[in-house]
Structure formats: C-alpha cells, structure tokens
Chain A
C-alpha cells in the first residue's frame, strides 16, 4: 500500500513553461512534506519542504502548495529550464520523527528547449 501517491509518472514541458507534480497522502499524522530532486546517476537531494501550518512555500522558481483538507500537496516549477530535467520525489514524515521518510514513486521531468 503506497502511503504517498505521486503523479504524473513522467512529464514533458517546454522551456519557460510550468511543471506541476502532485502528491497525496493518507496518514494524517504526517506533518512534514519535503521534495527531492535526483539527477541521473546521483543520489536524491532535498529541494524544498513544507509544514502544514502554511498553504504555500516558495523558493526561487520552486513552489510547494499544500491542501490539508484534501491531504494533497504539489510542486510547481515556474519558468522550467532544461537544467531542471530530473526525477522529482515527494515525501512525507512526522516532523518530530523524520527517521522514517515515506517517498512517493517519482516523476521524471524532461524540459525541452
């Protein structure tokens, strides 16, 4: 049973466009939602994270939107660039017990010039 569901599996966006990746979770105890970026042949790296006390967090071109009632959160990449081409993972954890991160299944993003 996948505790964190991620969609789409793959995404193709033109340079300058907006990339949107969605995640949904089931465990209401989750209260920390990070996103990871992974380039081919590399390990994942933390990109941005949000806690449910805010509905949106923005860092540069990357924005997380959070809907607590729907138990959904999403990553928006504005002005997508070819260098953003990577696999993105959402994840969830209990903030005071981040020993166990639960990852989504990943989205492969390709940005074409």
Chain B
C-alpha cells in the first residue's frame, strides 16, 4: 500500500512549455483532487474528480487540465506554463464525503522561469 504518490518531486519549466504532473493512489479511493500551495495563500483547489470519467473545477482551474481514465490515476496537465504557476502542487485522495480517509501526497515543487 503506497498511499498517494506524486511524480516528479521537483520540476523546472520555461514559460510556454507543457508538462503533466502525475498522481496515483492504490487505496481504491473514488475522490481525488489537486491543490496548489502558495505562500500566504494556503491551499487552493484546482480540480477534483469523484470517479473515473468525472471531473470538476475548483477555485483556480484556469491554465490546468485534468482527466480521470482510471480510479488510480489523476494527472494534472499544464498546457502552456506561466510563471504564475510556480507553486507546490499536492494531490489528495479519499472516500467521497469522508475527510478522515483523505490523504495528501508528498507534493511536486514546480518552478516556471
């Protein structure tokens, strides 16, 4: 049971480049989400999914795409990176409506130059 795994741990991008942040869980959780964490801003929800094939927007979805083709994986795509997307990104998973089962991954630190 690996919990929630995120790759890569750290990434440097140039403005305009694209990349995918990977998130996987092996706990058969239906709910998965992506947050970004910025100094003085706390954590802000980007996108979330309540099951395979179902995604929805959070507070700050612009500039990010997601898809959920399997229960285990929930990748976050940046199509054209901007310096404003420099942040630490956390993926979380849990059983829907049961926050006590929600686990956060270790995070991906992204620097956009």
Contacts and interface: CB of A to CB of B under 8 A. Distances in A.
A49 B56 CA distance: 25
Contact of B40 (A9, A45, A49, A98): A9
A52 interface: no
A44 B43 contact: yes
A100 interface: yes
Interface string A1-31: 0001010010000000000000000000000
Q: How large is the interface on B (under 10, 10 to 19, 20 to 34, 35 or more residues)?
A: 20 to 34
Given A43-B90, A43-B104, A105 B31 contact: no
Interface in A89-113: 89, 93, 96, 98-106
Nearest to B96: A99
Nearest to B45: A100
Given A49-B99, A98-B97, A99-B31, A42 B43 contact: no
A54 interface: no
A42 B106 contact: yes
B42 A105 contact: yes
A93 B99 CA distance: 10
B74 interface: no
A46 B102 contact: yes
Nearest to B38: A105
Q: How large is the interface on A (under 10, 10 to 19, 20 to 34, 35 or more residues)?
A: 20 to 34
Interface in B70-94: 90, 92
Interface in B12-61: 31, 33, 35, 40-45, 48, 50, 56, 58-59
Interface centre among B44, B92, B99, B105 (most CB of A within 10 A): B99
Interface string A69-80: 000000000000
A105 B41 contact: yes
Interface of B: 4, 31, 33, 35, 40-45, 48, 50, 56, 58-59, 90, 92, 96-100, 102-107
Given A41-B106, A44-B43, 6 more contacts: A42-B107, A43-B103, A93-B99, A98-B97, A102-B45, A104-B42
Nearest first, the 4 closest Cβ-Cβ pairs linking A and B are A43-B104, A103-B42, A103-B43, A105-B42
